[in-house]
Chains A and B, each alone.
Chain A
Amino acid sequence: MIIGQKIKDLLRDTRWGDWCLITLYLSLVSGIIVGIHYDPAEPFYSTSAIDILVPYGRYFRSLHFYSSQFFFLSAILHYYGVFTKADSYPAKPYSALILTLPVALVLLFTGYVLRSDSTGFSAGMIAEHILEAIPLVGPTLNNLLFSISDHGLNRVYLHHVFSFDLLFLLLAWEHLRRYKVTFSRHLLFLGSVLFFSLLVAAPIDPEELGVFYITGPWFFLGLQELLRYLPPFLAGIVFPASLIIALIFLRRQNRSFRPILVFVFIWLGGYALLSVLALVAHH
């Protein structure tokens, strides 16, 4: 009980918002650096070349990868940490902030796709098929966002470095204007991320013979498993969208707060279970 309370306090008291901003800036800067040598026409070759041939390339790719991962994780923890303090936020800016979460996730996801290794390639193809499965507007959306089969990674690259970032900044703009971060107050955290990236290389999975089971990125595992049982539109669009909508309406002043909270917990529990299944059940 005491340990549980301590973890709860730690989650509430850590300045996740500051960490979130620091890793966002790190991710943006390291992304620009990695982009200097990345070529969407030769995605796997150029990613491998960054790792193997370009001086300090492995470090900068690792920094981009891990700062982006830390950014997303601290964004979730920031949401949890300030949840009780966010009651005064008006509905519109609050919804915009909730929508930054799926946009950040799409940015992470397109990063995986862009390296075009075996997991990245498969993740990209799956995303394309999910978009295509949306009634009426699916093919148009796919042509706008992915279209990997017809145009390679050009559009994914364009949106990863430009449109999705713009969308994220647009949604978070008011919030970012209101809160500033002083880097000098978080030197230990900043140093830890820089040092961690030096020690641990960003993953890359070249295609190997005899590999008959591949798993997507950690946040995609549950979805990958669900796609086994449900049609792409239900598993890939309706199911994730239901959580986002629930989070938008999950406000303590909302009359349906309790049932929505129960739904969110069931959703998260179900997703965790599906993710574990994806890891252990099909080898």
Chain B
Amino acid sequence: MKAINGRQPAGFTRRTVLFIGSLLLLYPFIRFINHRVPRKPKIVEVNGTLKANGYLAKDDFILFSGGDDIWAVSRTCTHLGCRLNYKEKETLLECPCHQSRFSTRGELLRGPAKKELAVFPVEQKGSPPIYYVTIL
């Protein structure tokens, strides 16, 4: 194309080329930052005595025992991700940021959270027992 009066024709200016070039670069950039290497399931080994109807708190979950059952409930609040604490007297988990409440089985008792908590599989081995909690 010929420049008219020293200017590029309006339809195909240097700016347009730059703009289209930037858009083309944007695609690999977004693909790059959005790529997630698949996470391996994290298995946490818990050594410690878990009394009947007792609990053990770890960073990511709380391990509970009741009757013959042992289960692990996530400590990540489903509202905004704060770490939940266990209120032993009231037997419930409460979020320190906005006071959402959950039962020890992860059921939602009070908002602002809207979803229940994740419950992780627990495997028990040996004597004295070692608990293996798989965080998915």
Contacts and interface: CB of A to CB of B under 8 A. Distances in A.
A242 B76 CA distance: 30
Contact of A125 (B34, B80, B85, B112): B80
Contact of A282 (B80, B85, B99): B99
A125 B94 contact: no
B83 A143 contact: no
Interface stretch (A22-30, A77-85, A182-190, A210-218): A210-218
Contacts, number: 60
Given A211-B96, A214-B97, A282-B99, A140 B80 contact: no
Interface string A130-152: 10000000011001100001100
Interface string B69-91: 00000001001111101010000
B99 A213 contact: yes
Interface string B89-119: 0000010111100000000000010000000
B14 interface: no
Contacts of A210: 85
B97 A126 contact: yes
Contacts of A224: 97-98
Interface in A49-79: none
A232 interface: yes
Contacts of B83: 118, 121-122, 125, 207
Contacts of A149: 81
Interface SS of chain A: helix, strand, loop or mixed?
Answer: helix
A150 B39 contact: yes
B36 interface: yes
Contact of B80 (A118, A126, A150): A126
Contact of B94 (A118, A129, A212, A229): A212
Nearest to A130: B80
B1 interface: no
A25 B83 CA distance: 35
B39 A212 contact: no
B95 to A, nearest CB: 9
Nearest to B36: A150
Interface residues of B, number: 19
Interface SS of chain B: helix, strand, loop or mixed?
Answer: loop
Determine the interface band of chain A, counting residues with CB < 8 A from chain B: 20 to 34
Contacts of A143: 33-34, 36
Given A143-B33, A150-B39, A212-B87, A128 B97 contact: no
Interface string A205-233: 00101111110000000001001110010
B60 to A, nearest CB: 11
Nearest to B78: A129
Nearest to A236: B80
A140 B39 CA distance: 18
Interface of B: 30, 33-34, 36, 39, 76, 79-83, 85, 87, 94, 96-99, 112
Closest 5 A/B residue pairs (Cβ): A125-B81, A122-B82, A129-B80, A214-B96, A126-B80
Given A121-B82, A121-B83, 6 more contacts: A122-B82, A125-B81, A126-B81, A129-B81, A210-B85, A224-B97
